[in-house]
Amino acid sequence: MTTAQDLMIVSMEVTPVRPVGQGDLSLALAGAELIDLLESGELAIDDDRIVPAPPSAPDDTLLAEAVSSLVRVQPYESVEDWLWRRGRELYAAYAARMEADGLITRPRRRVLAVGSHRTEPADSPARSRATERWMSQEPVLAVLAAAVGLREEPAEGFSTPLTDAVETVLAAVGDAVAELEAVRQRRTIEQAAFDNIWRGA
């Protein structure tokens, strides 16, 4: 199991503190991949640049895709650029992969609900692991969840110390999610102004 898979499962289990979009989760999933690859020695973070190690093939399919897509020429890619590039529609990719692997499932519904796209975690060791990480407030999962609105971040922050590289990734995820929300708000304002023009015409 990976941090991204744990985040996917948690996102289906908990009641968020604010609306969570697939774009937000996609950015956080890309950040989760980076952190897992950091911890497995597949890459390093130098300032804000992703420095890849010699290529390998992680067992997880999506992590293997992430490794193969790393920029391997200097000056390398920034963490921010990775989040936006790798994060594009990453939620959908994880949902499809995890459903194919039996980690999430579509619940049986009455006939009226046919066509529903709702999914939920399957009863599995993966679900138990994600729940354990969540209940223990494991800091990486907790910070990623707070960044996208699945939980509040404690006023005093999370107590477990993290490496500078992990903190760099987590901060970049928070900044990217905030930027995405700013874009949404700007579009809403622009659409409202456009609508007002037509009403006044």
pLDDT in tens, 125-144: 999 999 999 999 899 999 99
Residue of 110 and 75 predicted with greater confidence: 75
* pTM, 2 dp: 0.89
Q: Name the pLDDT band for 32 (thresholds 50, 70, 90).
A: very high
Q: List the one residue out of 178, 162, 174, 164 whose CA is nearest residue 47.
A: 164
Residues 190 and 183: their CA atoms lie apart, in Å, by: 10
Residue 162, pLDDT above cutoff 50: yes
Residue 183, pLDDT above cutoff 60: yes
Q: In what order do the strands lie in the sheet with 49-52?
A: 43-46, 49-52, 77-78
78-106: per-residue pLDDT in tens?
999 999 999 999 999 999 999 999 999 98
102: CB partners within 8 A, 6+ apart: 122, 124
Instruction: Please report, for the chain, the start and end positions of each structural domain, with discontinuous segments joined by +.
Output: 3-107+116-200
Write out the two tokens for 46.
Answer: 């130098």
HSE-CB of 78 using CA atoms within 13 angstroms: 8
Write out the two tokens for 19.
Answer: 């609306």
